[in-house]
A and B are shown apart, each in its own frame.
Chain A
């Protein structure tokens, strides 16, 4: 009898790219649901719109680049980019903003670099940075959380705002949108108010909870839970979020200890904005992160460092996207200088270590 020949190992795959991406998407569900609960229909509408744009852009690029459609469209990576980006956009962002952000993420951030596996920058963050630089005003159209007595738009009203850009009768932009707690905190601290003053403030006070912003502690808590599940399932490497959150905690704690009235405490830092999403879902994108164990620690810690610096002294309220892109740039270098020591070799043979004096 004759047989076909093949190279070892002769085994069935234990995991695959699309399953990994699908699990990451699944782990996003609780946090996303919480976001939708607190910030309304806009969250879900954004996600749907982003997914449609992502799949269309992906299809177009695969067609233009003459790549096989089926495996790449079913790898779920475009959907993940879309969802991450949708979570970072304001809930009442006009439709064209989402379209621009997502299509540039897929086309510029991913395919122009060679597609899946070849992009040096996190595509979702590329898309985000493009729109935040080009359309800073539209990027502030966040809605107030559904608690604390703020009014919220219904489904059709939200659709109307997003797609037609018209506000329901009797409402003003100011009444349906507001700055995020992070943004408010930063602005008010800039106006020489103390953290305590801000918490007591007539207008801004109600948007803060004892932990962070109202609702945000739940959103971050649930993204944290999803992220821990991913780490437990070994879909992501726990070292990146550990490095990121550890560094952010360390810095914010030190500064808060030094001056608690003008530096927010670590709990606020860790549970505000998209921190948990960034730590477990964005920074852990394998393609753009460092691949070695020590490299991943440094990579995570570096993002945490830049997030704190940009939040505290930068001109943007949240610095996640910039921090991630900055560290994306260092990933190849990190990989090079943190190579593991090959079995049976001496450390001195590896970059970043002292050369052993040649023995006579």
Chain B
């Protein structure tokens, strides 16, 4: 059933951006050639890294798990094709930090031979927990770009009844069309996925939100819904305003509810999944296929033939570019994601990961030079467009002068880095760069703080133990001394020596003190006996430092 009217609300700010979508929607989703070699980063999502299950030299089949999730927020990765494990080592991965990460390198054997696949078309008989487990082991993460393990989102936790499932097909960033093309070509998979998620969450209502600049996708979804005969899924056409595809923004538009700053959508009875994720869940449940490929939009002025393609995870980006007939002459920036929030790659030999929805190649005339920023003229344009109602100019002011407390008072951590503020800033200040810098800096400080807290606690603990031991030892010594003293006195009394008594007593006391010191010195190393190797190392280092000083 499709309701033609669904009441909609607004979020503050936002931008009407040129869509630039048609460039990549002219041809159907292409299949990419099987690359000779795939590099699969073990860590492709938010959360913990899994444990590697294969060894160099192993033969793996398509769909075989390469890692095993080690924590609750964790997702495994799978072999995208059959072949041999060539290497398990650190390789550069597409991440803003440009750090290398542990990757499994597979040399394809060209046979593309699947593991044994099991269909669970009878998923309605499965318990939500079993279904979640299936999704978890299929390595499914949010395909909208954030790459958060989906199984976690499917578990809203006790006390959270999910009233509405929202399937996010907004795709509000310019240029990106992978969700659009998926909805156009595989609407039935999206609808099936939505049904499965509804079952897992025990929800009776599902909205699929699509920006009204994608009429083909909306039509395809509606057809699929009537074909499937489901009555609780509604397709809602929403206004094309960036960043309406942001989770909290979309919830506001559809329900007028605000997800609390420190809360999750589940807190207000909502779960949101991306259309691509829904389709991936469908494939995992109905065909037993883990997440080993995704649709990537390869587009931009710097690309000869913009298009969408289904790509195996681990394929080098350069292969995609090649398939799109290569770069245009003045290609200047390679961006993973869209122009507003994507981040730049320093080279195109990096592998495609699960979160890579778009490869955008811009030409030199498509972005400004950040070096000619002017001072902020407090025009307030940034605040006018900020979808979170922040005061970006104040954030900038405090971030640039490193007032990290103030910048948090202005709710820096609510900033979604959508880039609206920087887009409109007449002074061309790279505002988002300042916010990222401030966030990283604050995180680092917190980590250091935690570390030093940890160290302090450990130190205090050790100190307390040492103090206690010292007290006990002194107590023992004192007792010993007392006994000696008593004995001496008794002897002296025996000998009936009455002269020069005070002098002798003083000498005895001095002697005792010396003894005491000696005893302490002899004792000292013993205190370190029961240290761990690491602690011992620290102590040694500290001693060495002291010596050299």
| Interface positions of A (Cβ within 8 A of B) | 1-17, 19-20, 71-72, 75, 115-118, 237, 286-287, 289, 291-292, 296, 335, 339-345
Contact = CB atoms under 8 A, between A and B. Distances in A.
Contact of B259 (A1, A14, A344): A344
Contacts, number: 167
B319 interface: no
Given A6-B370, A20-B426, A286-B378, A342 B389 contact: yes
Given A8-B419, A16-B426, A291-B383, A117 B261 contact: no
B414 A2 contact: no
B345 A3 contact: yes
30 contacts: A1-B318, A1-B348, A3-B346, A4-B332, A4-B346, A5-B344, A6-B370, A8-B337, A8-B340, A8-B417, A8-B422, A9-B432, A10-B335, A10-B340, A10-B342, A10-B367, A11-B368, A12-B366, A12-B368, A13-B428, A14-B424, A16-B428, A72-B374, A75-B374, A117-B374, A335-B391, A335-B394, A339-B391, A340-B389, A342-B388
Nearest to A2: B347
Nearest to B433: A7
Contacts of B362: 10
Contacts of A296: 380
Contacts of A16: 374, 426-428
Interface in B239-259: 248, 252, 258-259
Given A9-B341, A12-B367, A292-B380, 18 more contacts: A1-B334, A6-B367, A8-B335, A8-B340, A9-B339, A10-B366, A11-B423, A12-B365, A14-B423, A15-B381, A16-B426, A20-B379, A71-B374, A117-B378, A335-B394, A340-B389, A344-B414, A345-B261
A344 B12 contact: no
A237 B334 CA distance: 37
Contact of A17 (B258, B377, B393): B377
Contacts of B390: 340, 342
B261 A9 contact: no
Nearest to B424: A14
B375 A5 contact: no
B372 interface: yes
Contacts of B341: 8-9
Given A116-B374, A339-B391, A344-B248, A11 B261 contact: no
B269 interface: no
Nearest to B341: A8
Interface of B is mostly: loop
Contacts of A20: 377, 379, 426
A73 to B, nearest CB: 12
Interface residues of B, number: 69
Contacts of B360: 10
A3 B370 contact: no
B488 to A, nearest CB: 67
Given A286-B378, A286-B380, A344-B263, A11 B347 contact: no
B367 A286 contact: no
Nearest to B300: A10
A345 B342 contact: no
B376 interface: yes
Nearest to B434: A7
B242 to A, nearest CB: 10
Contacts of A11: 339-340, 366-368, 419, 423
